[in-house]
Amino acid sequence: MTECGGKVMASSAALMSRKWVTGRAVGRRIEELDPVVGNEEATHLSLEVRYGDAIFAHAAYTVAFARQVAIPSIARILYRTGTGDMMHDVRRRNDDTLLFFGEMLHHGHSSEYGRSVIDRMEQIHSRFGITDDDKLYTLGSLAFEPDRIVEHLGLNVFTDNEREARFHFWRQVGEYMGLDVPQTREGFLRWTSDYEDRYEHTDGARKIVDQLFLDWQERWFPAHTKRFAYGILLSVLTEDLRAIHRLPDPSRGYRRVVSPAIGAYLAFQGARPHRPHRSWSDHFGTRHPKPLDIPTLGHRKAVARSIRPTGENR
């Protein structure tokens, strides 16, 4: 069961004890929560339960990653003159990153286990000299990209409570990392937008984006449908992001079809039954034995004690 500060989150026992719960019931629970105090539960229910299908999580992650590498300093670290993990094992790299995020979302940032996941991620990143501002921008993309995607598509999906809770979730992750995070959603959004003035095309970033697109295509589209993958993902990227990476615009047909198709898909997800404890980790963590051993996650092993999640059988 999802934790908060080492205790099971104070969600409705009736809701969370069910094997299946409707998306509408999940939505009602999110709206009952205070977006500051209950940010961990609300964000888990929103991003992992109600809209947590792996294909959507991966698409949002791909767009957010394309936005992050538009910052040259981030692209340089990830590309590493073609030697970075993104260039030679993109599937594993993406799975590991989504697993880290899934464990944070599922267990919360205030639990001992959740903080061990953040610590492990920070340990992996420590060798690369990532600046605090680049880390903060990465958190900004995680906080705001779901909203930017649906707004770009002309869809109304997330409530004010969901948006505010998601901001506070990543704000508190950043504060635990020692970052100076703006204290309001509006302030953080403004900071993130200003930081995007640094956007610049780089060959390394474009090659990373090509790898991201390839993983999206190979992962979700059977052979006879692969030709559709590129146009769908191009339609989800904003015009400025396509321009920075020198990507073509989607055809008129894709622009006409993709938005209503995604809107119908998300409306279905918002209503259909879900497992209340499902997580991105269920899909993206399959290459790792269970229970997860946090010190071995990622590409560099660490010597540290392993902390197991409490309050649930995983």
Residue ranges of the domains in the chain? Answer: 21-296
For residues 227 and 242, give the distance between their C-alpha atoms in angstroms, rounded to a whole number. Answer: 19
- Give pLDDT, residue 6: 39
- Give pLDDT, residue 114: 96
134-172 pLDDT, tens digit per residue, is 999 999 999 999 999 999 999 999 999 999 999 999 999
Whole-model pTM: value is 0.89
Q: Which residues contact 53 (CB under 8 A, 6 or more apart)?
A: 269
For residues 106 and 257, give the distance between their C-alpha atoms in angstroms, rounded to a whole number. Answer: 33
- Give pLDDT, residue 88: 86
Q: Residue ranges of the chain with pLDDT lower than 70?
A: 1-13, 299-314
Integer-rounded Cα radius of gyration of the chain: 19
CA nearest neighbour of 172 among 296, 64, 79, 37: 37
- Give pLDDT, residue 195: 98
The count of other CB atoms within 10 Å of the CB of residue 184 is 12
For residues 167 and 139, give the distance between their C-alpha atoms in angstroms, rounded to a whole number. Answer: 9
- Give pLDDT, residue 4: 46
Tokens linked to 42: 């609300």
